[in-house]
Chain A
């Protein structure tokens, strides 16, 4: 393996190691999860006789859970689920940015400006896909006919596969590799 590639990998390993250590020592994943929960909560579908809310709450030392509150007419159900570290994707992205040799202020701003919203959108979509699943379970348990459109107006089926496989963290890695190692354009 060429020295340049090896250095790149070492920088990525060092950056990710540092960020993962920080995440284990201080509640980085919880901080990253809060805006994701806020966005997924704000996008919940509300209408007459149906209300939904999503929150991230601490239950005991270092134990965080999502609380999904669904009201359908007279019926109410509250679902508790352990927090999922969606922020892993953000940590991978941040490590890639830190590992990349300084590309100049303009390119770095472009990289972060495009990448960060995409990472945030991916994390939010994954959580929304979870919430849609919890609602389907709850509605079935309550014995109510499936609701249309359910928790969200947007179709989320396409995210289910990404999320369930837990490999979504590789998306920024591969996209970064495609950008960084694209074949050079030939000049005439």
Chain B
């Protein structure tokens, strides 16, 4: 009977962590919908991404400009909306880091890693989508709906696995 106790405790801890994780992502995701946060924080993130993407793309094309939260490439435009910032995905990943049993120092490192990896990956996503929207709308649809969501899921999973590996103390 005693041998079953640790396994049961582990299952309870897992259920608790999963519940806290869902509550955390639901709470934080809804926080992004608060008008003041959207206007004062996310608005700047969206226009910042648009400006930076236009600056990078203008290195290889002449017909690129940013206006507010949109990137114009040739005759096409891509508007950076909340789903394009990567902040939402970073919140999902950072929340997983926060609920995983590890030292706080490791958790803080994990949260920083989550935001850095997701925001960098997302920026590459924005660049490719702006480029494809101007050059090949069919490819844009395919890459936007099928390729990038899969790739971002993969990057998040890899980041989480790598962080868990680095944060878990190894037995001698």
Contacts and interface: CB of A to CB of B under 8 A. Distances in A.
A16 B154 contact: yes
Most buried by B among A1, A23, A159, A182: A182
A2 interface: yes
A21 B145 CA distance: 11
B89 A167 contact: yes
B153 A92 contact: yes
Chain A, interface SS category: helix
Interface stretch (A5-13, A31-39, A44-52): A5-13
Interface residues of A, number: 43
Nearest to B34: A161
By secondary structure, the B interface counts as helix
Contacts of A181: 161, 164
A182 B93 contact: no
B124 to A, nearest CB: 17
Contact of A1 (B92, B100, B162): B162
A73 interface: no
Report which residue of B3, B6, B21, B149 has the largest number of chain A beta carbons within 10 angstroms of its beta carbon.
Answer: B149
B21 to A, nearest CB: 7
A188 B2 contact: yes
Nearest to A88: B149
Interface residues on B, range: 35 or more
A85 B144 CA distance: 12
A92 B146 CA distance: 11
Contact of B29 (A165, A174, A182): A165
Contact of B10 (A20, A88, A182): A182
Interface in B50-96: 82-83, 88-89, 91-93, 95-96
Contacts of B130: none
B26 interface: yes
B153 A170 contact: yes
Contact of B6 (A162, A166, A187): A187
Contact of B93 (A5, A160, A170): A170
Contact of A171 (B25, B28, B160, B168): B25
Interface of A: 1-2, 5, 8-9, 12-13, 16-17, 20-21, 23-24, 85, 88, 92, 157-162, 164-167, 169-171, 173-175, 177-179, 181-188
Interface of B: 2-3, 6-7, 9-10, 13-14, 17-18, 21-22, 25-26, 28-33, 82-83, 88-89, 91-93, 95-96, 99-101, 142, 145-147, 149-150, 153-154, 156-158, 160-162, 164-165, 168
22 contacts: A1-B162, A5-B161, A16-B154, A23-B146, A158-B26, A161-B31, A162-B26, A164-B33, A164-B82, A165-B82, A165-B88, A167-B29, A167-B89, A167-B92, A169-B149, A170-B92, A173-B160, A175-B18, A177-B96, A183-B101, A185-B7, A188-B6
